Copies of this chain bind each other. A is one copy, B any other.
Amino acid sequence: MDHLKPTSANSPPLTPLTFLDRAATVYGDSTSIIYNHTTYTWSQTHKRCLQLASSLAGIGIRRNDVVSVLAFNIPAMYELQFAVPMAGAVLNNLNTRLDARTISVMLRHSESKLLFVDSHLQALAHDAVSRFPPEITPPVVVLIKDYNCLLNDDVGIVTTSYEDLVKKGNKNNSLSNDDVGFEIVTTSYENLVKKGDANFRWVRPVNEWDPITLNYTSGTTSSPKGVVHSHRAIFILALDSLIDWSVPKKPVFLWTLPMFHSNGWGFTWGMAAVGGTNICLHKFTAGDVFTAVNRHHVTHMCGAPVVLNMIANSPNAKPLHNPVHFLTGGAPPPAAVVLRTESLGFIVSHGYGMTEVAGVVVSCAWKEEWNRLPVTEKASLKARQGVRTLGLTEVNVLDTESGLGVKRDGLTQGEIVLKGACLMLGYLKDPRATAMCMREDGWLYTGDVGVIHPDGYLEIKDRLKDVIITGGENVSSVEVESVLYCNPAVNEAAVVARPDKFWGETPCVFVSLMDGKDGGGSSDEILKFCRERLPHYMVPKTVVFMAELPKTATGKIMKSTLREMAKNMPPSMGNSRM
């Protein structure tokens, strides 16, 4: 059989971009996007993405250039998930909750060429770009104007080359910080769409391992890591997630999950595959969710447990007319929240994933017979991470000492490891971190500690890396600690998760102060120090002063003890001194 090798006919690169061409044929007249009073069909979305991709290519964006996006869940954000890679570029979605300093670091690290910015995030983008040192060219900023003003949106200057944009951009991009109301764009998003060619032949990847996305994640070190995914990984993940969640044709998908979170767990592309309708929301309350669900007959939505919690506890909560499938992940959903939302008519599924695996690759795979169990038992089964999806090749829990698989008894803990086609290519410009994560033994080490139950289902027990998950966002305790350690008043600092009814967890810091500085370190000062250096969600919500942090014999801070303390704090307890 050895004479049979791949040919050009049977090995065209796998890529999710082919979903959009097909959607234009099969679902051309169906609604693709609804956002307030803006509505598109799949043939319009297809055309707009081709036009935008053509404009990007036209101004000089080349294969493997990075194009960044800082936007809420608006139509442009959805379109860019296709248009940027259709121009051959690598799509870099930025977390809108980050601070200007972090965004600036990411833009520089990725050497981003263009930055598309939601009009509501203009100031943040400006701040980030203005932090570039004069010798480094910042990305050209392209404004996505408010959708309410779109009708008057043809006044932007259309330039013909990237160099031109850089030149004009830099000129306007005055570095003086007090120039707040200035114009940082030389063209607008809608102008790029309008001037593009709808017959553009989009840039197919040369190889399916070519990069398609760059998503920054808070890692264990103080600098963020850029996770790069291939076209192949995204193709497999997107189809895999549709099957795992049994998504039918033409679902109505409500975007409560930020698209910048692993590209909406791959459902941005997945919706094109099944001709779904994307209901976009800018910012939302629980009331907005119920309104959208009823108005648009929503069938599917995703979100962190904090969104599930928001829905469950909303005064607007009313039983649904039709069931809505809710896929949650990022942290195990609390049993009480699952029960409450299911009683309203939501069908909750729970999946496990991480930026490094592009979406959900382990899921709680519900069994019919479990429906007969008592409600609390059901909820705790649903909170388990579960089994690998079809797209993942293997999952295991390895003993951290021996490296062997742990006993499947639901008790023996080890590190969760993964192997499969949805895994990242690696971290951008960080071969050391890549090799630490994806090791030579063929496993990706998640840093999560788990057990395997006798029925083969996986459950996360703890996090090796002490990541705190607050409102669906990962906060690396090490990252926060490294900032605290910059404060001259601080002697020692340790950040752990404190359980929180609303956020799931919040960062809680235990601090001992330098000799003689006891009086000088107030919790307000500590928090102010953090706020100036960290995005809002990373800033500790609780500060506890201790004379000395508990340590092991070898001098290592006993985080497990601190975690226990944080866990047992009365809800009323704020910042304190011990």
Are A12 and B393 neighbours in the complex by a CB distance under 8 Å? yes
| Least distance between A510 CB and chain B CB atoms (Å) | 35
Q: Do A440 and B12 touch (CB < 8 A)? A: no
Q: Is B249 touching A246 in the complex (CB atoms < 8 A)?
A: yes
> Which residues of chain B are within 8 angstroms of A228 by Cβ–Cβ distance?
1, 4
Chain B residues with CB under 8 Å of A274's CB are: 243
A262-298 contact mask (Cβ, 8 Å, vs B): 1 or 0: 0000000000011000000000000000000000000
Q: Which of A238-277 contact B (CB under 8 A)?
A: 239-240, 242-243, 246, 248-250, 273-274
A5, A388, A425 pick with most chain B CB within 10 angstroms: A425
Describe A's contact surface by its main secondary structure.
Answer: loop
Q: Which among B14, B25, B273, B426 is the interface contact of A421 at CB below 8 angstroms? A: B14
Contact, CB under 8 Å: B239 / A438:
no
Contacts of A434 in B (CB 8 A): 4, 7
Q: Which A residues between 409 and 425 are near B, CB-CB below 8 angstroms?
A: 418-421, 423-425
User: Which of A4, A387, A438 gathers most chain B CB within 10 Å?
Assistant: A4
Q: How large is the interface on A (under 10, 10 to 19, 20 to 34, 35 or more residues)?
A: 35 or more
When distances are taken between beta carbons in the complex, the residues of chain B under 8 Å from A369 are 29
Are B365 and A26 interface neighbours, CB within 8 A? Answer: yes
How many copies, total?
2
Task: Tell me if A6 counts as interface (CB < 8 A to partner B).
Answer: yes
A64 at the interface (CB under 8 A from B): yes
Partner of A390, one of B5, B22, B393, B441: B22
With both chains docked as a complex, state the minimum distance between the C-beta of A353 and any C-beta of chain B, in angstroms.
14
A444 at the interface (CB under 8 A from B): yes
CA distance A439 to B90 in the complex (A): 31
Q: Which residues of B contact A10 (CB under 8 A)?
A: 233, 420-421, 423-425, 438, 444
26 contacts between A and B (CB under 8 A): A3-B426, A4-B211, A4-B228, A4-B425, A4-B428, A5-B425, A6-B425, A7-B434, A7-B438, A8-B441, A9-B438, A9-B444, A10-B420, A10-B424, A10-B444, A12-B442, A18-B393, A18-B394, A22-B387, A22-B388, A26-B367, A26-B387, A29-B369, A239-B390, A243-B243, A248-B248
Nearest 4 pairs of A and B residues by beta carbon:
A10-B423, A25-B456, A8-B442, A4-B425
